[in-house]
Amino acid sequence: MEHPYLVAFEKRLKDLFDRVDDYLEERYEGLYPLHPVRPPRGATSSKDQDGLFSIGASFSPGFGTRYGKGYVVDLRIATLSHVDPSLKETILHDALSYLQKLLDETFPDRHFRVVKDGEVYKIVGDLSLREDT
């Protein structure tokens, strides 16, 4: 059983990632062909299950990392085509900048930051459980 404040917070976080997904889908539409088994954008009820992009985050306790606990951001591009690593990095930075803007607007008092922690990008800040999530 999960704490209701955690459930509410992660729902809001998922909504933000859905907005980032929409941003990427609109900005980079047609960049690469979809993986043959991937449904087109809007074909499913979950944005991470269709379209070219899937972006989300999962909690990490951050043991042994510079920033500690946070949500590790994961971006996937659903294509069989070769994706140039520098272009993927550009898309990732674009997504992370937009995510930071949304975090600032949605959680202004939480002081969330999107940081590079080792080889991953992570959302860090005030992760306390409270009613205003």
- The predicted-structure confidence for 46-104, as pLDDT tens digits, reads as follows 998 999 999 999 999 999 999 999 999 999 999 999 999 999 999 999 999 999 999 99
> What's the pLDDT score for residue 130?
86
Residue 131 lies in a domain: no
Q: Say what percent of the chain tops pLDDT 90.
A: 91
β-strand pairing of 120-124 with 70-77: antiparallel
User: 18 is in which domain, residue-wise?
Assistant: 4-124
Q: Write down the pTM of the prediction.
A: 0.94
CA distance 113 to 50: 28
Q: What is the CB neighbour count within 10 angstroms for residue 54?
A: 19
Number of domains in the chain: 1
> What's the pLDDT score for residue 98?
98
Asked whether 1 and 129 are in contact (CB, 8 A), the reply is no
Residue 132 lies in a domain: no
Q: What is the CA radius of gyration of the chain?
A: 15
